[in-house]
């Protein structure tokens, strides 16, 4: 696990890092502290980062833009902020957790549990996926998404107006963020359950989902059973 802490208060940064080390122990490959998001993103270009712990008020910069910029990246984001009123928006934008200050070890570790799938993310209030297009961050309403296709470390979002966008997060990470209506039907596909018209079984135990727009997506052998259950 590669973790980056972005926090301008030195004492608090030390506290976060100490508690992070206590949780991950030897599964933690690297933990770095940066004072601003700009420096953090610079670091991300040259280093592998899985998780960012981000303060939303950094040296006078604050709020919405910082959040949008963070969630459009490939890493998962956990916000650690003094402003509890930003929590709802943060979840809508697709952060994994929001830890209000002042925090203790238990609360921070609970957030890490979510990262490690130990606890199912209860608060899946994500409304938007932030993607980067020509240097700008654009918000895509998840209601417009028909399905998402894995493309290596990226994902491809297919929208109901036939446009496609690349997202920097992997399919695994998006699956963690998206609500239950978004079902992983294959190792390379997530689709919205209400977009599936029928499930087809062809010879050789080949499973396929026909979507309402006519497209046909493969269904993974292991996923078929759960999907069938849901589809009933």
Partner 1 sequence: MNRFGIFKIVVFITSIACFISCENDFKVQAPQIRYKTGDTLNWRLKNIDDNSWSLQRENSKDAIFWARTTIRIDQHPQEDTPQGLLIYGFGAYEVYWDEVLIGRNGTPGKEHLKKGEVDRSFIIPDSLAKKGEHFLALRISQRYYPDQKRGFAFVVSSYKNLIQSPVVLTAITYIFAGAFLLTAVYFFMLYFYNKRFFPVLLFSICSFLFSVLIVVEYIKFFLPIHYSVFYIRLEIIGVLTFLIAFLIPVYFSIQFSLPKRKLLLSSYFILLLFIFFYFRGRYDHTTALLIICMWVFSIIIVGIATYKKTENAIVVLGSLLINILLYYLITYDFSLIISFTILLLSMFYVLARHIQKQREAFEHSLVETSRLKNELLKKKIQPHFLMNTLTSLIDWVEESPSKGVDFIEALAEEFDLLNQVEDKKLIPIDQEIQLCKSFLNIMRYRKEIIYSWNDEGIDPTQSIPPAILHTLVENGITHCMPDDQNEIHFHLSQESSSSYRSYRLCTVASLRNPEKPIEDGTGNTYIKARLTESYGRKWDFESYQTPEGWKNIITIYS
Lay out the site mask for partner 1 across 139-178 (x = CB under 8 A, - = otherwise).
Answer: ----------------------------------------
| 106 near partner 1, judged by CB under 8 A | no
Binding test (CB under 8 A) with partner 1, winner from 2, 74, 103, 181: 103
Please count the other Cβ atoms lying within 10 Å of the Cβ belonging to residue 16.
Answer: 23
SS3 sequence, 13-34?
HHHHHHHHHHHHHHHCCEEEEE
Give how far the C-alpha of residue 101 lies from the chain's centroid of Cα atoms, to the nearest Å: 22
Q: Closest Cα partner for 52 from 74, 28, 68?
A: 74
Q: Closest Cα partner for 16 from 28, 33, 38?
A: 33
Binding test (CB under 8 A) with partner 1, winner from 83, 128, 154, 224: 83
DSSP H or E stretch at residue 156: strand 154-159
| 232 near partner 1, judged by CB under 8 A | no
Is 47 or 84 the residue whose CB approaches partner 1 more closely? 84
| 57 near partner 1, judged by CB under 8 A | yes
Q: How far is the CB of 83 from partner 1 (least distance, A)?
A: 5
| 43 near partner 1, judged by CB under 8 A | no
Strand 206-211 to 216-219 pairing? antiparallel
Binding test (CB under 8 A) with partner 1, winner from 21, 30, 47, 82: 82
Cα dihedral: 117, 122, 124, 125 (round 10): -150
Binding test (CB under 8 A) with partner 1, winner from 32, 33, 36, 139: 36
Q: What would the two tokens of residue 37 be?
A: 């998001």
What are the respective helix, strand and coil percentages of the chain, to the nearest 5?
Answer: 35, 35, 30
Site for partner 1 in 11-30 (CB under 8 A): 11-12, 14-15
Q: How far is the CB of 6 from partner 1 (least distance, A)?
A: 14
Q: What would the two tokens of residue 102 be?
A: 């002042």
Binding test (CB under 8 A) with partner 1, winner from 60, 135, 152, 214: 60
Q: How far is the CB of 29 from partner 1 (least distance, A)?
A: 25
Q: Which residues bind partner 1 (CB under 8 A)?
A: 8-12, 14-15, 36, 57, 59-60, 82-84, 100-104
């Amino acid at each position: 696990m590669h973790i980056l802490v972005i926090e301008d208060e030195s004492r608090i940064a030390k506290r976060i890092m100490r508690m992070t080390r206590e949780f991950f122990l030897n599964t933690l490959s690297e933990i770095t502290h940066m004072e601003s998001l700009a420096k953090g993103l610079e670091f991300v270009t040259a280093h592998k980062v899985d998780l960012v712990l981000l303060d939303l008020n950094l040296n006078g910069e604050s709020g919405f833009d910082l959040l949008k910029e963070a969630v459009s990246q490939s890493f998962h984001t956990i916000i650690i902020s003094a402003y509890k009123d930003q929590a709802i928006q943060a979840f809508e934008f697709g952060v994994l957790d929001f830890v209000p200050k002042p925090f203790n070890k238990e609360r921070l570790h609970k957030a890490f549990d979510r990262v490690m799938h130990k606890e199912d993310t209860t608060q899946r209030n994500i409304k938007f996926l932030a993607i980067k297009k020509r240097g700008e961050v654009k918000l895509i309403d998840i209601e417009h998404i028909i399905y998402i296709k894995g493309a290596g470390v990226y994902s491809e979002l297919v929208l109901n107006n036939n446009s496609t966008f690349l997202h920097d997060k992997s399919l695994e990470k998006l699956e963690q963020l998206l609500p239950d209506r978004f079902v992983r039907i294959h190792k390379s596909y997530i689709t919205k359950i209400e977009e599936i018209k029928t499930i087809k079984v062809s010879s050789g135990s080949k499973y396929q989902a026909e979507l309402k727009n006519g497209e046909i997506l493969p269904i993974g052998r292991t996923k078929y059973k759960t999907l069938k259950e849901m589809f009933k």
